Amino acid sequence: MRRSLQRDQTITATHDNAAAWAGIGAAAFMAWCQKAVPASILGVLSTFLYLSGVLVLHITTPALFSLETVNASRPLVVPTQGLPSYNWSKIENGLLSDFQTLEAFLPQPLSLLSSVFERYIPTVGLQNGTLYEILAPNKGAGNVTVNATTFDITCGYLEDVNFSRVENTTNEAWNLTAPAFAPYYAIIYPTQPGLIVPINRTYIDAVLFYSTIPILDSSGIPGEGHVLAPPLYNATSAIEIFGCTQTLVNQTATVDSQSRTIQTLGPQKTYSTWAPYTGPLNALGGGNSNFTFDPTRNMFLDLWGLWYNLIPPSDFPLVPQAEQKLSVADLQLNQMLNLVSSTDRPQNVTLHALENALSTLVAAMFWTSANAPPSHGFIIGLQIDGHSVTTISDTLPSQISGNANLSLYFQRPFLLPGNATVTVNFAEPRLDLSIIALTAGFTVSIALLILSLPSSLPVCYRRPGVEPSIEGTGILHSIWLYRNHRELEGLLEQVDDPTR
């Protein structure tokens, strides 16, 4: 404004320039008025363009930055529960001697083994013959990798086995002697054809079986058979004796972080061949009831043969009306091999199918021992006060009732803790820079700089003695003409278009 007043120009031009700076609307109006009286076309137009540029900056500046919601993720460490273990309280001279505690407790959860296979109990953490770490409830998304352990079972036939009839009995039982049983023997009771039954000897780290159905390996070769005369139950004249050992195979499994169920796992066995049994045979009793403690191993898993023999019996007899019955685990094993079906019973069993079934059974046994919910009452163990493992009571035996620390007798196995990393998805704001608004604002800013240069430059005052040239007629010129030339009034009345 000051520069406009200091310039040598008409009052109309000064008025138009000053009025144009009132705002973008006034500048547009004054630019339109220049059609009638073009007093300051460049001045008004530059003002209009300048204010228009400022208007554009007002619009584009807020649009330079914006907040948008994006999906992000971060790793989250989640606790897990893994393999079952036990807090051994009686380790004397490197030997375990508190089997009695677990023998009193384990029959109770192991009686629920059939419910596990029938899916009455959710079995998160168990898949076939593998136990995998159970994720704690979390907000993760997608899959996560956890540790897993497969119970690999390998079976081999027993060598140097001898049979003899049990005298003074009418049930056709047989005594079984072998180096594995020395100095004792095992008893083979009458058994119907087509069953696989454990031998009635308890081993800590192995399980021995006899089979009244041929078991073929992947080459079609059966195990070492033994002929009985007279036959068992007047029907079974040949049986196979074999032992099975366990090997823990560490691997990883892919688990869904929300359902916590396994997604991928390695395949089971598809090939096995018969070989002589060379595994361990640490019998319970006979001076071998103690087991050397190894702090580097999970001893609870190593004693699988002992826990297998603690599984309560089912209602399925070896022969009709017999007192000897399959355990819940034995019945499940025969069902998995389709040996107790009333129809379509196979003529033989493959060795790898047997080993896979035992692997699944042992994994389910360990899962049940630590994950199955407690049931009402106590299932009293065989070694506690002479009770049968099938006895269920609300009161404890006298041997336990007098002890103040009941938790030692019924301390259940626990699950080893661990950790896994899951991915958590969440929404977060992000500052976004608009390239279009940035380009437009930069261009307009350059234009404003150019338009502001004429108004920013200093006014060039005329030199003394130099009269300004008259480029147009202003209000003062009109007053001077009317005062000195009265005749112009009549002439002006004849003008049709005063703008020209």
Q: For residue 391, is it within any domain?
A: no
Whole-model pTM above 0.85?
no
Q: Are residues 178 and 59 in the same domain?
A: no
User: Encoding tokens for residue 113?
Assistant: 């083994």
Q: Does residue 89 share a domain with residue 41?
A: no
Q: Would residue 223 count as lying in a domain? A: yes
**pLDDT score of 333:** 94
Question: Which residue, among 239, 248, 224, 241, has the nearest Cα to 153 in the 3D structure?
Answer: 248
What is the pLDDT at residue 281? 75
- Quick one: CA dihedral 170, 329, 245, 205, positive or negative? negative
**Going by C-beta distance under 8 Å and a sequence separation of 6 or more, which residues neighbour residue 99?**
284, 289, 303, 306
In angstroms, the CA 470 to CA 473 distance is: 8
Is the domain of 117 the same as that of 50?
no
| Residue 23: inside a domain | yes
Q: Is residue 402 in some structural domain? A: no
Residues 420, 438 within the same domain: no
Q: How far apart are CA 155 and CA 148, in angstroms?
A: 23
- Asked, for residue 330, whether it belongs to a domain, the answer is yes
In this structure, the answer to whether residues 438 and 420 fall within a common structural domain is no
Largest CA distance in the chain: 166
Q: Are residues 46 and 85 in the same domain?
A: no
Range of the domain at 166: 75-376+413-424
Q: Would you give the DSSP letter of residue 104?
A: H
Q: Is residue 219 part of a domain?
A: yes
User: 32 and 139: one domain?
Assistant: no
Q: How far apart are CA 140 and CA 256, in angstroms?
A: 9
Q: What is the pLDDT of residue 207?
A: 92
- The pLDDT, as a whole number, for residue 408 is 43
Q: Residues 50-82: pLDDT tens digits?
A: 888 888 878 877 877 778 888 888 888 999 999
Residues 126 and 156 both lie in one domain: yes
Strand blocks (E) in 341-473: 349-350, 378-379, 392-393, 414-433
Residues 316 and 356 in one domain: yes
Tokens standing for residue 279: 């595994």
- One domain, residues 231 and 319: yes
Answer whether residue 491 is part of any domain.
no
Bridge partners, 240 (sequence order): 211, 225
Please check whether residues 364 and 444 belong to one and the same domain: no
Beta-bridge mates of residue 153:
246
Residue 420 lies in a domain: yes
Domain count, the chain: 2
* pLDDT per residue of the chain (500 residues) written in tens, 0 to 9: 556 655 666 677 777 777 777 778 887 888 888 777 777 777 778 778 888 888 887 887 787 777 888 888 888 899 999 999 988 776 766 666 667 777 777 888 888 888 888 877 778 899 999 999 999 988 888 889 999 999 999 999 998 888 888 776 566 788 888 877 776 778 888 888 889 999 888 788 899 999 999 999 999 999 888 888 877 776 777 899 999 999 999 999 999 988 888 887 777 888 999 999 988 777 655 444 456 777 788 888 998 998 999 899 988 888 888 888 999 999 999 999 999 876 788 889 999 999 999 999 999 999 998 887 655 444 444 344 443 334 444 444 444 444 444 444 456 788 899 999 988 888 888 888 888 877 887 888 888 778 777 666 665 555 565 555 555 566 667 777 777 777 777 777 777 776 64
CB-CB contact of 304 with 329 (8 Å): no
The reported pLDDT for the residue numbered 189 is 85
Predicted local distance difference test score (pLDDT) of residue 349: 94
Identify which of 216, 200, 218, 220 has the alpha carbon closest to the alpha carbon of residue 208. 200
| pLDDT single digits (tens) 276-311 | 998 877 765 544 445 677 778 888 899 899 899 989
Does one domain contain both 106 and 186? Answer: yes
Q: What is the dihedral of CA 296, 298, 300, 302, to 10 degrees?
A: -80
